[in-house]
Structure 1
Amino acid sequence: MQTRKIGSFDVTSVGLGCMNLNHAYGTPPSAEQGRELLAHALDRGVTLFDTAALYGFGANESLVGPVLAPHRDRITLCSKGGMAGVVGDDGVTRRVIDGRPATLRRNCEDSLKRLGTDVIDLYYLHRWDKSVPIEESVGEMGRLLQEGKVRALGLSEVSVETLDRAHREHPITALQSEYSLWSRNAELGTLQRCAELGIAYVAFSPLGRGFLGGILDAATLGEKDVRSAMPRFSAENYARNVRLLAPMREIAEQADCSLATLAIAWVLRQGEHVIALPGTTQRKHLDEDLRGASVKLTAEQLEALDRLFQPSAIAGHRYALQGQKEVDTEEFTVAA
C-alpha cells in the first residue's frame, strides 16, 4: 500500500480512525465486531491507527490497545489528550476541554495504561483550550516527549496562527483536522502552512462524516448520533447538500470506483503531506476507503470535483454554535 511520512514515521496513506467503534455515531458495534474490524485493517496492511481519551470516555483506547499490542513494532499508534470525560458531582461523565499542563500529563498517563503501551507514537492536543496559552499546553507535551512517553506531537482543529505559535514552542509533527470535498477549511491556510513547515496534514472525516459515501439517510440519525445536531445534517440543509451526490456519482463512474473511494482519492491528491483518516465499523467500507490510495484521477475529474464542491455550494456549518466555538480553524462563509 502507498505510504507517506508523518515526521519520522512511514505510514499508509490511508489510516484508520477508531472513534466509530465506541463513540459519536449512534449505537456502536460490539467489542467483538470492533476487534474484527481492527484485525481486518491489520490484515490489509494499515499501519496508522488513531484513537483518543475522549472516545467512549476511554473505552476506545481499552479496545484498541490489546488488539494492536502484538503489532506495535510495525504500526504508528496515535492518541489525543486535552479533551476527555470527567465525572461530575452527580456521577455523570461529561466531555471537558482542559489544556492545563497537569491535565494533559494525567490524560497521557491514563491513555498509556489503557493502551497497554509504554509510549504513544503521535500524541495530539485534541482541542486547544483557549483559556490556556497554546505554548503552555504544547510545552508540557514536549516534556512528555523528553520523558519518552510520546514520540511526536500533534495538534487538532487549529488555525495557522495557533499552529505557528505551537511550532515555535516545540516542533509539531502533524495537524489533524476535518478535510474533505465538503469541508475545505484547510485550503484557507493550514494545508499550505503544513507543507511549508514539513508537517503532515491528517485529514479526519474525509468522507464528510458519511455523507460522501452516498448511503447515509440523515432522517434516520438518532439523538445519540452527534451528526443530528450538526447544521449540515438538518432536514433542510441535507436536502440541499444531497443534490451534489448525483453529479459526483457520474465522476465516480468515470473513475470506476465508489463514491467513498473517490472522496478518499481526492483528499490524497491535495498534497504529498496529506494522510486520509476515515473511520468505519464495516470491513467492506474499509476496503472501499483503502482503494482510494490506488485510484488515479485525471486533471479533468479533479477540476470537476473542485467546481462541484465549492464551499459556497455547501449548506450549513460544520458544527453547531457550541462546537464552532470550541475549534480554532479558519472558516468559510457557507450557505445558510
Structure 2
Amino acid sequence: MTVRTQTLTLMQVIPWRSYVKLCKIKVVSLVVFTALVAMVLAAPPGNLPWATVLAATVGIALAGAAAAALNHIADREIDMVMGRTQNRPLPMGNISRGSATVFALLLASLALVIIWTLVNPLTAVLTLLTLIGYAVIYTRYLKWIGPQNIVLGGASGAAPAMLGWCAITGHIGWEAFALFLIIFVWTPPHFWALAIARRDEYAKAGVPMMPVIRGVAYTKRSIFAYALVLIPVSYLPVTVGLSGPFYLIGATVLGGLFAIRAYRLMSVDSDRQAMRLFGFSITYLTVLFALLLVDHYLPISGWSSW
C-alpha cells in the first residue's frame, strides 16, 4: 500500500469534515478578526511584534474552535429538533459525543499552552475564563434563563477583542474595554434578528429566546433600541484616543445604516428581512473593525488625529 493510498484510507476512516464543522469556522473567523485588529491597535504603527501576533492569533483561533465544539456537545439535543442545526455532526451521528469532547479539550489545551508560553499568562487566564463563560456558563445556564439570555451571555463573544489587546500590552486598558463594549452592545440585535426568523425552531426546542417569550414586535423594538445605542458606543475608540476622524465618520455612517435597517424591520412582517438584518450586522462589525485598522495607519500617510 502506497503512502498516498494510506493517507486516503485514513481520511476516509476519520470524519475530518465533521471535525471541521465542529469548529464553526465562519463564526470563529470573525472572532479572530476582532482580536487581530485589537492586537494591531495595541501596537504603535510600524512596530508590530509579529511573533506574538502570530502566536496569539493561532491560540485565540484554537480557543474559539474549542468553544464552538463544546457548544456543539452541549446543544446536541436541541440541535436534533431545530431545522437549521439537524445536519450538524453530532445530531447526524457522524461523531460520537466522546470523540467530540476529546477533540474540544485537545484544542483548548493546545490554545492555552500556546498563549501561556508564547504570549503572556494574563491572556491565557482570560482565554480560559472566556472558554468557561461561553461553553459552560452561557451554554448550560444563561441560555435557559430567559429572553435576556443573549445580553447576559454577550460578554464571552465580546472578550476576544480584549484578549487581543492584552496579548500585546500585557494588561487591560480603557481601549480594550471600548472594543469590548462595541461587540457587547452589537451582540443582542445581531442574534435577535436571527431569532426572529428561527423563532418557531427555538420554541420547539424550548429555548427562551426573546421572540418566543416577548413576541416578534417587542424584539424588533429592542433591536432598534440597541442599534441606536450602538452608535454612541461605537464612538468610544475616539474618546479613549484609539482612533480619529476617519473612523468617526465611518462609524457614523455604518451606525446610521444599521439603525435605518432596524427601523424598517419594525414595519414589515418578513423573516427574510430579519435574516437580511442579521447578515448586515456581520458586515457592520467587520467593516467597523476594518475602519479601526485603517484609521490606525492613516497618520503614516499624513492624516492627523484630532
Compute the TM-score of the two structures, normalised by the length of structure 2. Answer: 0.31
The alignment's TM-score, normalised by the length of structure 1, stands at: 0.29
More strand by share: 1
Question: Is the radius of gyration larger for structure 1 or structure 2?
Answer: 2
